[in-house]
Copies of this chain bind each other. A is one copy, B any other.
Amino acid sequence: MNKLIPSINSDTRIAIIAHVNPDGDSLGSIMALGLALMKRSNQVNIFLNDELPGRYSFLPEVHLLKKYQSNEFDDFDLCFVLDCGDDRRFGDIDLLVKSKEVINIDHHVSNNGFGDINFVRTDASSTCEIVYSIITEELEIQLDEKIATCLYTGIVTDTGNFRYESTTSYTHKVVAELLDFGVNIQEITFNLYQNNSLNSTKFLGHVLNQMEIYFNGKVAIITIDQDLLKEFDVKYEEVEGIINYARDIEGVEVAVIIKEATTDGEIKISFRSKKNYDVNELAKGFGGGGHKRASGATTKGTLTDVKESLLNKLEKMI
């Protein structure tokens, strides 16, 4: 087989990065690829300039993650950029210029092929699914339990437990292989889903209770102000998933969360749609964007004003 990635020896200086606001797939893929490449090179650097979200701290060897600071590092031979829909999504890091070859590995449709070498497969469930192929077929490096755990975590989170339409027969074949290396599903499930804070669970209860329904049950709106966030002491990431509860109600076509940001006068809006409506259009009306079924926007104003403006836009749409 023709190999695309230049051969790697013990002195090859390697950088691995992913997008800002890390998630299971970006963290799983940088750790998996990093651990695999460390079997070849002694100069592998896995960079994370964000804080590691607590629920992913169970991933093996995360202590190897380091912050990239420009003045600390010279050039790199290879820079692997993972799960970045475009070349801006990894922040200000000047790694691309400082690396001889940039290898772009991603599954987002928005990816413009910014690498010198590009592995962009938009039909893949996750970047971890592509990294699996690259490790086993392209690099021909043997998997182990730690690498398999990282890859499994990326796949399971980016497919919503194998429920999103990107999940294919191949996805399950890959996972079958990974489990043979001794991945501990119970432990991963516990860390990802069974370790929620009491506050976030109470908060979920509260906002579902307060949720408002409009347009004959077709629209569900959840409004969250700063007082509420303070009262329950919940983190930004704990709010995100709640919109799915609103979308998953029988008859609801569009679900919206309107949230007061910490910055004065800034309002964040998240949109989800079920089948018939394009919430990308809706988000554009507030200067945002995204996909047909999931989008977002940041705007200025009060919660009341933004909600009124939203209801007006919805009235025209529904």
Residues of A within 8 A of B (CB): 156, 161-165, 167-173, 175-177, 179-180, 185-186, 189-190, 193-198, 201-202, 204-211, 213, 217, 245-252, 274
Q: Whole-angstrom distance from the CB of A189 to the nearest CB of chain B?
A: 5
Copy number in the complex reads 2
Known pairs A171-B176, A201-B211; list 6 more (Cβ under 8 Å).
A173-B176, A194-B247, A201-B245, A201-B249, A202-B208, A202-B211
Q: A208-B201, A208-B202 are in contact. Are A172 and B169 (CB under 8 A)?
A: no
Q: Whole-angstrom distance from the CB of A180 to the nearest CB of chain B?
A: 5
> Which residues of B have CB within 8 Å of A164?
185
Q: Whole-angstrom distance from the CB of A132 to the nearest CB of chain B?
A: 13
Q: Are B250 and A197 in contact (CB under 8 A)?
A: yes
Interface centre among A161, A197, A245, by most chain B C-beta atoms within 10 angstroms, is A161
> Which residues of B have CB within 8 Å of A176?
169-173, 176
Q: Whole-angstrom distance from the CB of A317 to the nearest CB of chain B?
A: 20
Q: Are A209 and B205 in contact (CB under 8 A)?
A: yes
Residue of chain B at shortest CB distance from A163: B189
